[in-house]
């Protein structure tokens, strides 16, 4: 096992730094310390824990610029989006802390019974690279408010921004309440198997399944946010301009490296020519490039493996008869050019496997029931979107997804949970109900 993990700028391969790759022994030792720190943390009244957490986040404000730059450099997103993620996480940390306090207050039930939300113990938060700050942040805050201590295992692709952001947060919390444990998937496995009580995971379905198996022997609590293959249905009476803009923006956001990326579009054949033409015009305005060049809106793909996976899906689509309206199978190193494909069929990898790249993949339908059936045929069920007027609500009712948008994105309002259906996840986070998943419910009758 390598003793360290190196981190590279995905737009040019430049080495940015390295971190320790924690061994099994180090994982065991960290869990022991985290457990010891939990004894005092859980005893603090919840309002004191929340006050401490909010104060810690307030200290982060002064570092927002440096966090944003490092995030952009290490992950590849443009500086505007990186600022949005870093400052958004600082705000959300405080907002979630307050919301979680309300969620976790003891509730009086009928008679003399009350419902308490008690700490579970040590929570392992394992996070991905695509939103390296926000994804971890959303899980760390409710876990801490509930009186747990947290061990964060950030992605090995983006350890430096995780260290900078959460390392700064850690400095303003009592010792041992938040610990960062760097490492690859072997470190993640050791953490899952360690003496911890809950795993809050965001990442791929394959890793999620492995975590479920390892967590089973001790029936550890799980919150799992896994992959997606979000469909978009465009009905005959949809506002074409809005639908085309959404289709491109939803497919290209974060270079397509987003769990709720629009990955498959089913468009009514009677409007398909116009829709495809407008989508292609809009997509053609996007530019690839590094985070610090102006006017760039599609950054690099995180690593060569992901790049190869996308390129393979494009080749597969071409071999099975798809047509490229923009882009093609020849792609530069590190980047995928904005790509629009029509003629996607159910046999193509583009339709069945998560793509995670800047690709608009379109298929035409003649019968709305077929479109719904194909939209639902995926093993995933994170988000889904329908654009249309008459009948759009009925279509939305039929879509098997945790989050559905009608003539808008699937995200929901600020107080909604982030939730996947089918194999996109287990449990959920965000919102009053989501925060409660980080606590043990205890019924006490006096």
Nearer to ligand NAD, 303 or 318 (CB): 303
Q: Binding of ligand NAD at residue 353 (CB under 6 A)?
A: no
Using the rule CB under 6 A, which residue among 10, 93, 227, 250 binds ligand NAD? 227
Q: Binding of ligand NAD at residue 296 (CB under 6 A)?
A: no
In terms of C-beta density within 10 A (0-12 exposed, 13-18 middle, 19 or more buried), how is residue 135 classed?
buried
Q: Binding of ligand NAD at residue 166 (CB under 6 A)?
A: no
123/113 Cα distance (integer angstroms) = 28
Using the rule CB under 6 A, which residue among 192, 265, 341, 362 binds ligand NAD? 192
Nearer to ligand NAD, 412 or 420 (CB): 420
Position of minimal CB gap to ligand NAD: 188
Q: Do β-strands 323-326 and 339-342 pair in parallel, antiparallel, or remain unpaired?
A: antiparallel
Distances (CA, A) of 298 to 66, 284, 293, 313, 366: 22, 12, 11, 19, 33
Using the rule CB under 6 A, which residue among 69, 74, 225, 268 binds ligand NAD? 225
Nearer to ligand NAD, 95 or 309 (CB): 309
Using the rule CB under 6 A, which residue among 231, 388, 420, 427 binds ligand NAD? 420
Q: Binding of ligand NAD at residue 434 (CB under 6 A)?
A: no
Using the rule CB under 6 A, which residue among 98, 210, 373, 400 binds ligand NAD? 210
Question: What is the CB-side half-sphere exposure of residue 60 using CA atoms within 13 A?
Answer: 30
Contact 96/418 with Cβ under 8 angstroms?
Answer: no
Q: Binding of ligand NAD at residue 410 (CB under 6 A)?
A: no
Using the rule CB under 6 A, which residue among 231, 354, 359, 374 binds ligand NAD? 354
Contact 33/76 with Cβ under 8 angstroms?
Answer: no
Q: Which helix (H) or strand (E) covers residue 25, if one does? A: helix 24-43
Contact 248/282 with Cβ under 8 angstroms?
Answer: yes
Catalytic residue set: 225
Q: Binding of ligand NAD at residue 228 (CB under 6 A)?
A: yes
309/322 Cα distance (integer angstroms) = 17
Q: Binding of ligand NAD at residue 357 (CB under 6 A)?
A: no
Using the rule CB under 6 A, which residue among 188, 327, 405, 412 binds ligand NAD? 188
**Token duo for residue 17:** 């730094």
Q: Binding of ligand NAD at residue 126 (CB under 6 A)?
A: yes
User: According to CB under 6 A, which residues from 237 to 266 bind ligand NAD?
Assistant: 259
Q: How far is the CB of 157 from ligand NAD (least distance, A)?
A: 7
Q: Binding of ligand NAD at residue 202 (CB under 6 A)?
A: yes
400/382 Cα distance (integer angstroms) = 9
Radius of gyration of the chain (CA): 22
Q: Which residue spans within 192-314 are E strands per DSSP?
A: 198-202, 221-225, 230-234, 262-268
Query: Rule CB under 6 A: which residues touch ligand NAD?
Result: 126-130, 135, 153, 155-156, 184-185, 188-189, 192, 202-204, 207, 210-211, 225-228, 259, 354, 382, 418, 420, 424-425
């Amino acid at each position: 096992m390598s003793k360290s993990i190196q981190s590279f700028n995905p737009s040019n391969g430049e080495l940015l730094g390295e971190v320790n790759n924690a061994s099994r022994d180090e994982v065991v030792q960290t869990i022991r310390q985290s457990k010891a720190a939990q004894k005092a943390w859980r005893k603090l009244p919840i309002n004191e824990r929340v006050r401490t957490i909010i104060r810690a986040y307030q200290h982060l404000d002064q570092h927002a610029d440096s966090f944003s730059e490092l995030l952009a450099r290490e992950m590849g997103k443009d500086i505007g989006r990186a600022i949005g993620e870093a400052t958004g996480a600082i705000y959300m940390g405080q907002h979630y802390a307050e919301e979680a306090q309300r969620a976790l207050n003891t509730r009086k039930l009928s008679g003399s019974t009350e419902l308490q939300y008690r700490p579970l113990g040590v929570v392992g938060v394992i996070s991905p690279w695509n939103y390296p700050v926000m994804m971890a942040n959303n899980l760390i805050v409710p876990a801490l408010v509930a009186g747990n201590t947290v061990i964060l295992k950030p992605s090995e692709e983006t350890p430096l921004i995780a260290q900078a952001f959460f390392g700064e947060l850690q400095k303003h919390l009592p010792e041992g309440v938040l610990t960062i444990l760097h490492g690859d998937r072997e470190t993640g496995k050791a953490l899952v198997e360690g003496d911890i009580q809950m795993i809050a995971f965001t990442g791929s379905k394959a890793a999620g399944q492995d975590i479920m198996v390892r967590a089973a022997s001790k029936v550890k609590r799980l919150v799992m946010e896994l992959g997606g293959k979000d469909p978009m249905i465009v009905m005959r009476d949809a506002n074409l301009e809005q639908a085309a803009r959404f289709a491109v923006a939803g497919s290209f956001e974060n270079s397509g490296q987003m769990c709720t990326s629009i990955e498959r579009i089913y468009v009514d054949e009677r409007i398909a020519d116009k829709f495809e033409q407008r989508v292609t015009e809009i997509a053609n305005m996007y530019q690839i490039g590094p985070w610090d060049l102006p006017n760039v809106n599609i950054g690099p793909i995180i690593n060569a493996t992901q790049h190869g996976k996308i390129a393979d899906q494009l080749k597969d689509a071409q071999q099975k008869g798809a047509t490229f309206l923009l882009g093609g199978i020849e792609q530069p190193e590190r980047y995928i050019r904005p790509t629009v494909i029509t003629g996607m069929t159910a046999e193509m990898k583009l339709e069945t496997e998560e793509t995670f790249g800047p690709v608009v993949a379109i298929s035409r339908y003649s019968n709305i029931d077929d479109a719904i059936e194909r939209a639902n045929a995926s093993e995933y069920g994170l988000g889904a979107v329908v654009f249309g007027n008459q009948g759009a609500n009925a279509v939305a009712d039929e879509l098997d997804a945790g989050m559905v948008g009608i003539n808008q994105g699937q995200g929901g309002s600020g107080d909604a949970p982030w939730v996947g259906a089918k194999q996109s996840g287990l449990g959920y986070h965000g919102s009053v109900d989501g925060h409660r998943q980080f606590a043990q419910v205890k019924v006490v009758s006096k």
